[in-house]
Amino acid sequence: MSQHFRRIEQLRGWRQTVFVLALAERAYPNYALFGQLSGQVHHELLRRTLDALWEAVPDRESSLNYQKIAERLEAQVPDPAQFEGYGVYPAADACNLALDVLFSRLEPDRRLAVASARVSLNTVTDFVEMTEAEGVEEDERAHHLDRHPLVKRELRFQRELVEALQKASYPSTELLASLRELASDGGVSNIGITLEEESESD
């Protein structure tokens, strides 16, 4: 695992931005579903933010006001203390990943990619523990997580992202489209949920 994160830590500049943005894209359904069920957050804002960030990556002269967008999005991060049910946690993680992208454009941080990778992976492992860890002995939990399909899927996704970004010389339209498609994975989030009705309601 340490080697996995060391490779991620090597990402810099636009590669780091795209890596974290792809994690946020993959987590988006978690936030959108929470918004639909709770009616307490406006998931459309996160959707518009992600769309704008993908478009801004190759544009060095982007006119996006990252500070203003971050302030709006921060107000939409659900507070777990204010909601019942587990869904608020992956929803908050999804929103915070998008905020990480915005903050990175305001103040670059070389540790951001690794921190965000851990957030995304923790979203998955926490979900697995919450839904399937009952009855699993404490000393077996780590092994249970390591071999779980959702955890393997998340790590494979992160590795594919890193490999693609390391090979790329610049953020071409084709590269960004392929990574966005990889991240979206047909609308399936990092914890395996899908927004089947979103396209009909938009």
pLDDT at 94 over 90: yes
Give 67-78 pLDDT, tens digit per residue.
Answer: 999 999 999 999
Return the CATH class of domain 2-188.
Answer: mainly alpha
| DSSP conformation class of 199 | H
pTM for the model stands at: 0.91
Q: How confident is the model at residue 199 (pLDDT cuts 50, 70, 90)?
A: very low
Closest CA to 151 of 114, 117, 175, 174: 117
Q: How confident is the model at residue 24 (pLDDT cuts 50, 70, 90)?
A: very high
| DSSP conformation class of 78 | P
What is the b/e burial string over 100-137, where b = at least 16 CB atoms within 10 angstroms of the residue's CB?
bbbbbbeeeeeebbbebbebbbebbbbbbeeeebeeee
Cβ atoms of 99 and 84 closer than 8 Å:
no
3-state percent helix, strand, coil for the chain, nearest multiple of 5: 75, 0, 25
Q: Where are the domains of the chain?
A: 2-188
